[in-house]
């Protein structure tokens, strides 16, 4: 699909990050966009930015993609507000982090992360498939992650719910290539596997999971974080609670502000992949490097040697950088 002019696109998670940039760049390319998010305030900011870039219509819809009834209501609202029975582009982009540990972690948090990151994609495809079938051409773009082929953030960090969901998205989308070719050949699909992108996912996840933000954590939450850091070998026994809070806030902000690939660059890569009709879209030099190294030596993927190879190529340094407090102590 090399032209987005007058196409109708649906973007989940359009309030921030890659979703916001996808909305803006699609509107700039002449598309009409329906976005959803759990934050009306964030969507309002996205809509204001998009309005400056093109004449395409933008509608905003509150929707938790991890709840099927809300996704179906979102679909019905898109049909009504855009006065259409069809769409051309579906970007299942919404996602959160969290749910790292299955052994000692909170089950509700685990399942919430899995629901948004996996079922949000599945529900989106189910809900909007009839509208894609009704169009002359369609494209489904499902956001997985490098964690869809490398289920880790390093040997000292549990990452089970997010990685499991992203593996599911990758496998589902790859299977969808043949499914669509046989049953709806005018619809194509792509799996997007971003590396470290400068988004607010680390800052937004706590809100979606119903937790306090880093600076508002209570004593019990700080104790849980301290225990996790100690398991990673970090000497935080005597670090004051307020410094723990500041550490996490700084880490989340650094993840957003110091990433090797911006959200705008990521959206541009994704849309170019759609124009080129690719089914596999790696986003960022780190994603390409990780893909190459995992393929070279899959048995080493979860060993320290893998992380060392990534470091040698200049990647994963920020994600695995030791937390520091305001005074620079570990």
Q: pTM for the whole thing?
A: 0.89
Catalytic residue among 119, 123, 139, 162: 162
**What pLDDT was estimated at residue 43?**
98
**What pLDDT was estimated at residue 324?**
41
**What pLDDT was estimated at residue 328?**
31
pLDDT 10s digits, 122-163:
999 999 999 999 999 999 999 999 999 999 988 878 889 999
**What pLDDT was estimated at residue 329?**
31
Domain ranges of the chain: 8-211+261-310
- 59: alpha, beta or left? (left if phi > 0; alpha if psi -120 to 50): beta
Is 302 marked active-site?
no
Closest CA to 318 of 221, 197, 176: 197
Residue 95 near residue 112, CB atoms below 8 Å: no
d(C-alpha 166, C-alpha 147), whole Å: 6
Positions in the chain short of pLDDT 50: 320-330
**What pLDDT was estimated at residue 280?**
98
What does each C-alpha distance from 318 to 153, 198, 267 come to in angstroms?
A: 11, 11, 21
List helix spans (H) across 17-159. 17-28, 40-51, 68-81, 107-114, 120-133
Residue 4 near residue 30, CB atoms below 8 Å: yes
Domain 8-211+261-310 grouped into CATH 3.40.50.720: yes
pLDDT 10s digits, 21-54:
999 999 999 999 999 999 999 999 999 999 999 9
Closest CA to 93 of 9, 2, 212: 9
């Amino acid at each position: 699909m090399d032209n987005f002019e007058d196409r109708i696109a649906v973007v989940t998670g359009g309030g921030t990050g890659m979703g916001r940039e996808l909305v803006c760049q699609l509107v700039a390319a002449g598309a009409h966009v329906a976005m959803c998010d759990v934050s009306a305030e964030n969507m309002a900011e996205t809509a204001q930015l998009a309005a400056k870039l093109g004449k395409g219509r933008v509608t905003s819809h509150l929707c938790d993609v991890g709840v099927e009834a809300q996704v179906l209501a979102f679909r019905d609202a898109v049909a009504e507000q855009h006065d259409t029975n069809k769409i051309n582009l579906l970007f299942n982009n919404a996602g959160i982090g969290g749910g790292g540990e299955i052994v000692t972690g909170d089950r509700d948090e685990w399942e919430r992360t899995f629901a948004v990151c996996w079922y949000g994609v599945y529900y989106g495809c189910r809900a909007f498939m009839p509208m894609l079938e009704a169009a002359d051409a369609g494209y489904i773009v499902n956001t997985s992650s490098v964690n869809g082929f490398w289920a880790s953030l390093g040997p000292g960090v549990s990452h089970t719910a997010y990685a499991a969901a992203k593996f599911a998205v990758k496998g589902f989308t790859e299977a969808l290539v043949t499914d669509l070719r046989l049953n709806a050949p005018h619809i194509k699909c792509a799996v997007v596997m971003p590396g470290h992108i400068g988004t607010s996912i680390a800052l937004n996840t706590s809100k979606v999971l119903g937790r306090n933000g880093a600076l508002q954590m209570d004593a019990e939450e700080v104790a849980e974080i301290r225990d996790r850091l100690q398991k990673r070998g970090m000497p935080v026994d005597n670090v004051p609670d307020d410094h723990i809070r500041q550490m996490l806030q700084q880490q989340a902000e650094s993840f957003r502000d110091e990433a090797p690939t911006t959200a705008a660059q990521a959206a541009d890569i994704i849309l170019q992949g759609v124009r080129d009709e690719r089914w596999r879209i790696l986003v960022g030099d780190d994603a390409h490097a990780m893909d190459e190294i995992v393929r070279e030596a899959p048995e080493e993927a979860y060993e320290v040697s893998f992380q060392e190879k990534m470091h040698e190529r200049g990647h994963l340094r920020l994600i695995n950088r030791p937390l520091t407090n305001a005074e620079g102590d570990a």
